[in-house]
């Protein structure tokens, strides 16, 4: 394919400059995003030191709720019943004093069970904030700014990212057939990394386009729906609730509920004054009729599950999430999955269910029961979250995420190497201030992000409660800032090998730290996966540092 040389140069320049601006932000977004593909298992692993009571048989759950709500009426405002696949017919009851939507996001929760004699057993758990913090790094491109500011900045970066992708493809098209598989291995590392950058960029292009487009939607969904409301009318608040809760949904107990409460849609069987079950056995003869205002008692969990199975066969509930909402009464959202369909959330689809009748009141996010429009939206979300195809797809996304981080890092290093080459041709002996600044910033930010996350995982077994959000954040940014400062103190000629070695050692030490503390147990699949992945990434970084020591100056990308 032939394209005029001036057009190719224009797109190459656009790709370089836009990629440089976006690359520093996107590195941490992709690296952290790869980790959050398994956020729920990581959450359980980091919080494993906190004891939990035994599950309660579902037939005893009404008795548990009666006793609990009598002793603690505030528990009726926000509670969940998790349904572990490992213990069918049993549930894990938990409640939180946090506001709806914050349940399971690092705040304390109280897990409740019944003893053999029928006494309440309550254990307060403080879930580790590590998994949630890494997800926040992913969403906010590594910046410790207010969430709204970071979200719009992330959207802007995603737009630049899309421009860099398109311009890069156009710039590469003329030599596509000749250079696609021409990976020049040898002493000249610049050519090798350029070939690897191009090869990885072309073959992962669909993945990166999906990430760019969906990230823009996540960032600007509120202005989009406000504009839609202004132009077309309707209730934009409900759309905002639907679209906005998806990103950042990982880590919530049983998954996030993007359905929320639709202000424009009446909740069947609810009233402004309807409390949660407040003692007494629920009325088992309500059927599909709405409850009488004098007796607003929800159905027992077993009947809810039976009714849901009749209406949505194939949908496997993972948790029942009850919330008291102003103007809507008691709201029940059932998080679950159906292996035949993609899901709206990172790990779950959702069904709104009338808690008094068991009737499904909304199928907007129920896998296999959505309208065409919602199915299309769900497809985009599933492509971003990797919530389809099971564990194999998630591991594939981990590899693509780490590959994306590598792509951004090498892109910036290649630009630095090109600038250095131009400066040498012009007669300069030393790098310009701008070249040195970008070289140090790239190494410090990228490797500081890797080292910061590794330091957090090393510290998890020794931190109280697996690490509160403030403790985890302080540790991460302390390590991150040390690496950035070290990069500028060492200079662009020396910082790479030192920082690569430092990040590699910290990453490789994660399984050592876990084994010394006896955290999680080595027989745990999550612990083994964390250990193996950390060793592989750590060894890769150490090998890169070793190669930079051995290569002569003219053979390095920038060192």
Write down which residue in 308, 330, 364 finishes a domain: 364
355 & 394 share domain: no
pLDDT (0 to 100) of residue 107: 66
Among 348, 364, 380, give the residue marking a domain's end: 364
In a shared domain, residues 14 and 118: no
Confidence of residue 412 (pLDDT cuts 50, 70, 90): confident
Question: What confidence score (pLDDT) does residue 507 get?
Answer: 95
Residues 181, 199: contact at Cβ < 8 Å? yes
Q: Which pLDDT band holds residue 252 (cuts at 50, 70, 90)?
A: very low
Same domain for 395 and 463, yes or no, is yes
Note the pLDDT of residue 94.
92
How many distinct structural domains can be found in the chain? 2
Q: What is the pLDDT of residue 476?
A: 97
The yes-or-no verdict on residue 306 having pLDDT over 50 is yes
Three-state DSSP at 369 gives: coil
Dist. CA 109–CA 99, nearest whole Å: 12
Q: What are phi and psi of 168, to 5 degrees?
A: -65, -40
SS3 content of the chain, % helix, strand, coil (to 5): 60, 10, 35
373 is a domain residue = no
Based on the fold, state whether residues 550 and 425 are members of the same structural domain. Answer: yes
Q: Does residue 221 lie within any of the structural domains? A: no
State pTM to two decimals: 0.81
Pairing verdict, β 78-82 and 56-57: unpaired
* Pairwise pLDDT comparison (521 vs 65), residue with the higher score: 65
Judge if 473 and 551 occupy the same domain: yes
- Other Cβ atoms less than 10 A from the Cβ of 1: the count is 8
> Which region among 202-206, 268-272, 408-412 has the lowest average model confidence (pLDDT)?
268-272
φ/ψ bin of 418: left (φ > 0), alpha (ψ from -120 to 50), beta (otherwise): alpha
- Residue 319's φ and ψ, nearest 5 degrees, are -165, 150
175 or 37, which is more confident: 37
> Does 113 share its domain with 157?
no
Can you tell me the distance from the alpha carbon of 419 to that of 421, in angstroms, rounded to the nearest whole number?
5
pLDDT averaged over the chain? 79
Question: Does one domain contain both 454 and 341?
Answer: no
Would you put residue 533 in left (φ > 0), alpha (ψ -120 to 50) or beta? alpha
Higher pLDDT, 498 or 241: 498
- Give the pair of three-digit tokens for residue 158: 């995603």
**pLDDT band, residue 548 (cuts 50/70/90):** low
Same domain, residue pair 113 and 204: no
SS (HEC) of 166-207: HHHHHHHHHHHHHHCCCCCCCCCHHHHHHHHHHHHHHHCHHH
pLDDT band at 173 (very low <50, low <70, confident <90, very high): confident
Q: Which of 74, 82, 95, 100 is nearest to 261 (CA)?
A: 100
Mean pLDDT of 213-218: 86
Same domain, 117 and 38: no
pLDDT grade for 296, boundaries at 50, 70 and 90: low
From the CB of residue 147, how many other CB atoms can be counted at a distance below 10 Å? 11
Q: Are both 16 and 145 inside the same structural domain?
A: yes
Asked whether residue 32 is domain-assigned, the answer is: yes
Q: In whole angstroms, give the CA distance from residue 67 to residue 280.
A: 9
Domain assignment present for 429: yes
- Is a pLDDT exceeding 60 seen at residue 558? no
Phi/psi at 7 (5° precision): -70, -45
* 432 Cα distance to chain centroid: 39
| pLDDT, tens only, 51-61 | 778 899 999 99
What average pLDDT does the segment 198-209 reach?
A: 82
Whether residue 250 lies inside any domain: the answer is no
| pLDDT tens sequence across 347-370 | 889 999 999 999 999 888 899 898
Q: What pLDDT, on a 0 to 100 scale, did the predictor assign at position 93?
A: 94
Cα–Cα–Cα angle for 443, 448, 453, rounded to 5 degrees = 145
With tokens 């995003």, the residue in question is: 33
Write down the H helix ranges in 72-143.
130-139
Q: Give the residue carrying structure tokens 């000749």.
A: 178
Q: Is 23 inside any structural domain?
A: yes
Report how far residue 500's alpha carbon sits from residue 540's, in angstroms, rounded to the nearest whole number: 9
How large is the average pLDDT for residues 107-130?
86
39 and 58, same structural domain? no
Question: Is the pLDDT score of 430 beyond 50?
Answer: yes
- Which are the contacts of 199, defined by CB distance < 8 A and separation ≥ 6? 180, 181, 183
For residues 252 and 490, the model is more confident at 490
Q: How many CB atoms are closer than 10 A to CB 180?
A: 14
Task: Tell which of 316, 331, 364 closes a domain.
Answer: 364
Q: Which of 222-231, 395-404, 429-438, 484-493 has the lowest mean pLDDT?
A: 222-231
Domain that holds residue 440: 5-44+133-209+389-555
Instruction: Give the relative orientation of helices 469-490 and 130-139 as an angle to the nearest 10 degrees.
Output: 50
54-to-65, 90, 116, 436, 535 alpha-carbon distances in Å? 16, 9, 11, 58, 34
The reported pLDDT for the residue numbered 164 is 84
User: Where does the pLDDT of residue 180 fall: very low under 50, low under 70, confident under 90, or very high at 90 and above?
Assistant: low
The three-class DSSP label of residue 552 is coil
Looking at the structure, do residues 289 and 169 belong to the same domain, yes or no?
A: no
Question: Residue 230 domain-assigned?
Answer: no
What's the pLDDT at 355?
93
The values of phi and psi at residue 116, to 5°, are -65, -25
pLDDT at 190: 65
What distances in angstroms separate CA 239 from CA 162, 274, 292, 348, one per listed residue? 25, 25, 31, 19
Q: What does the pLDDT average to over 97-101?
A: 63
Q: How confident is the model at residue 298 (pLDDT cuts 50, 70, 90)?
A: confident
Question: What is the structure's pLDDT at 287?
Answer: 38
| Percent of residues, the chain, with pLDDT higher than 70 | 77
Assigned token pair, 322: 């009850």
pLDDT surpasses 90 at 477: yes
Report d(CA 91, CA 319) in Å as an integer: 9
Both tokens of 164, joined, read 């860099």
Tell me what the mean pLDDT of segment 104-109 comes to: 62
In angstroms, how far apart are the furthest CA atoms of the chain? 90
Could you read off the pLDDT of 266-294 as tens digits, one per residue? 333 333 333 333 333 333 333 343 443 33
Q: Check residue 181 and give its pLDDT.
A: 59
What digits encode the pLDDT tens for the residues 66-94?
A: 999 999 988 888 999 999 988 888 999 99
Average pLDDT of the segment spanning 217-230: 76
**In the prediction, which pLDDT does 179 show?**
62
- The answer to whether position 290 is within a domain reads yes
Region 420-427 average pLDDT = 81
Question: Distance between CA atoms of 43 and 252, rounded to whole angstroms?
Answer: 9
Give the model's pLDDT for residue 523.
Answer: 66
pLDDT beyond 80 at 505: yes
């Amino acid at each position: 394919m032939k394209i005029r040389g001036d057009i190719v140069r224009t797109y190459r320049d656009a790709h370089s400059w836009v990629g440089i601006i976006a690359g520093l932000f996107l590195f941490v977004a992709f690296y952290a995003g790869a980790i959050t593909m398994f956020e729920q298992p990581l959450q359980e692993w980091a919080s494993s030191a906190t004891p939990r009571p035994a599950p309660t048989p579902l037939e005893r759950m009404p008795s548990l709720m009666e006793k609990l709500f009598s002793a603690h009426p505030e528990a009726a405002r926000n509670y969940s019943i998790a349904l572990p696949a490992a213990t069918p017919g049993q549930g894990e009851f938990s409640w939180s004093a946090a506001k709806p939507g914050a349940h399971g996001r690092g705040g304390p929760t109280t897990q409740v069970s019944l003893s053999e004699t029928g006494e309440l057993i309550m254990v307060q758990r403080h879930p580790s904030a590590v998994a949630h913090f890494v997800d926040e790094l992913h969403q906010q491109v590594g910046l410790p700014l207010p969430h709204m500011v970071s979200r719009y900045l992330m959207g802007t970066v995603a737009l630049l990212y899309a421009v860099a992708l398109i311009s890069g493809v156009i710039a590469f098209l003329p030599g596509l057939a000749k250079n696609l598989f021409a990976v020049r291995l040898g002493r000249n590392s610049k050519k090798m990394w350029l070939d690897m950058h191009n090869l990885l960029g072309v073959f992962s292009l669909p993945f990166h386009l999906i990430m760019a487009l969906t990230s823009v939607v996540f960032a600007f969904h509120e202005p989009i729906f406000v504009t839609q409301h202004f132009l077309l009318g309707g209730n934009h608040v409900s759309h905002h609730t639907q679209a906005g809760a998806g990103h950042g949904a990982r880590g919530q107990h049983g998954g996030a509920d993007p359905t929320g409460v639709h202000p424009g849609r009446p909740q069947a069987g609810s009233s402004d004054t309807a409390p949660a079950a407040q003692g007494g056995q629920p009325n088992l003869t309500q059927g599909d009729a709405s409850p009488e205002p004098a007796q607003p008692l929800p159905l027992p969990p077993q009947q809810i599950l039976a009714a849901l199975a009749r209406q949505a066969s194939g949908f496997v509930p993972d948790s029942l999430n009850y919330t008291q909402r102003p103007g809507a009464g008691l709201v029940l959202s059932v998080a679950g999955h159906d292996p035949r369909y993609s899901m709206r959330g990172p790990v779950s689809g959702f069904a709104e269910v009338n808690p008094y009748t068991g009737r499904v009141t909304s199928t907007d996010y129920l896998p296999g029961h959505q309208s065409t429009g919602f199915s299309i939206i769900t497809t985009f979300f599933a492509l971003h979250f990797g919530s389809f195809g099971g564990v194999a797809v998630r591991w594939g996304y981990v590899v693509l995420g780490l590959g994306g981080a590598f792509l951004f890092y090498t892109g910036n290093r290649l630009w630095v190497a090109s600038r250095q080459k131009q400066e040498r041709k012009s007669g300069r002996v030393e790098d310009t201030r701008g070249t040195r600044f970008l070289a140090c910033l790239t190494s410090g930010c990228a490797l500081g992000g890797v080292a910061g996350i590794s330091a957090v995982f090393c510290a998890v077994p020794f931190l109280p409660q697996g690490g509160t959000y403030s403790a985890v954040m302080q540790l991460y940014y302390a390590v991150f800032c040390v690496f950035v400062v070290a990069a500028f103190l060492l200079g662009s000629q020396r910082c790479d090998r030192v920082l690569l070695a430092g990040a590699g050692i910290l990453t490789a030490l994660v399984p050592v730290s876990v084994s010394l503390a006896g955290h999680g147990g080595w027989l745990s699949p999550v612990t083994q996966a964390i250990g193996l992945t950390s060793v592989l990434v750590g060894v890769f970084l150490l090998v890169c540092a070793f190669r930079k020591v051995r290569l002569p100056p003219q053979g390095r990308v920038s060192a």
